[in-house]
Amino acid sequence: MNKILTQKISLPTSKASLYVRREDLIHPFVSGNKFRKLKYNLIQARKEGKTKLLTFGGAFSNHIAAVAAAGKEFGFETVGIIRGEELGSKVESNPTLSFSKGCGMVLNFVSRDTYRDKELPTFIKSLKANYGDFYLLPEGGTNALAIKGCGEILTQKDTSFTHICSAVGTGGTIAGIINATLPNQKIIGFPALKGSFLSDDIRKFVNKESWELIHDYHFGGYGKINEALIRFINGFYQETAIPLDPIYTGKMMYGIFDLIEKGYFPNGSKILAIHTGGLQGVAGMNQKIKNKNGLLIQTQ
């Protein structure tokens, strides 16, 4: 694990200050919140004597890629149950799936209807019949051990921050952050998905009320982007040399800048934005954009 870097961002206003926690630099392949979520799960898998990890995800899943890379590095066999039967013939042209396969992950492509049953005991039983004994990791990696790991994103040096911001997928990362914050700190989540169900999911793991989800920056839903978002991501990279992904961190940072401009943060606010990684997904998104002759996302 690399030393964690906190980088200050220059703002056009002096009413607030903004810093980025570079969790994306933790590890070249198991970066950001994926490292945090997997840390204690891998320890637990070892304790249980498991040698195989099985999990679920979509075509460009950060979680699938991270589990595959972690399995290769730490000596676990890995199995990925992938949403979409049609993807079975597209592995080599898909950056996430080809990377995961290259790490040794066994990929099983299932229909979307079958995928919806992924949490049913009967489906898990059928997977054990096919793959033998395994340590089960949920889609996105969120469970109690993952939240414990995400609680370590913040350190004792972070007590001076008044606001902590995070992108939100399944809610595990922000739940860990909420549990680690002080009473005077406010946590703001920027969901990548449409819908209000995330608040209920997060409340299952936290007992604090100093947090809020702002649903204005999902750009139409999970995986949806537009040229304004891409231009912001590219401009931010040119100014800071910090790459962002269009699914999570790009939308979060866009939202933070917009809220600062609108006066959401009180004068003197000291904001910490958590860079949760996810950069492996940029290649796949650029592939889609290139097919439509659109503006590409810059990461280097």
What is the arithmetic mean of pLDDT over 209-223?
A: 93
Q: Are 139 and 246 in contact (CB under 8 A)?
A: no
For the CA atoms of 223, 226, 230, 235, the dihedral, rounded to the nearest 10 degrees, stands at -140
- DSSP calls for 103-164: TT-EEEEE-HHHHTTTTSHHHHHHHHHHH-S-EE--GGG-SHHHHHHHTTSS-GGGTT-SEE
Instruction: State which H helix or E strand residue 34 sits in.
Output: helix 32-47
Nearest to 18 by CA among 193, 221, 255: 255
Tell me the pLDDT tens digit for each residue of 1-34.
556 789 999 998 778 999 999 999 999 899 899 9
Q: Are 62 and 222 in contact (CB under 8 A)?
A: no
Dist CA 279 CA 108 (whole Å): 24
Instruction: Read off the tokens for 221.
Output: 């839903």
Instruction: Read off the tokens for 270.
Output: 């000291």
* Other beta carbons less than 10 A from residue 111's beta carbon: 11
pTM of the model: 0.93
Tell me the pLDDT tens digit for each residue of 52-90.
999 999 999 999 999 999 999 999 999 999 999 999 999
What is the arithmetic mean of pLDDT over 178-187?
A: 95
Q: Residues near 73 by Cβ (< 8 Å), separated by ≥ 6? A: 29, 30
What pLDDT was estimated at residue 195?
Answer: 77
CA distances from residue 218 to 165, 197, 212 in whole angstroms, order as listed: 15, 14, 15
CA 149 and chain centroid, separation: 13
Dist CA 135 CA 74 (whole Å): 14
CA distances from residue 276 to 37, 54, 92 in whole angstroms, order as listed: 11, 22, 26
Q: Indicate if the pLDDT at residue 229 is higher than 60.
A: yes
What is the arithmetic mean of pLDDT over 228-253?
A: 96
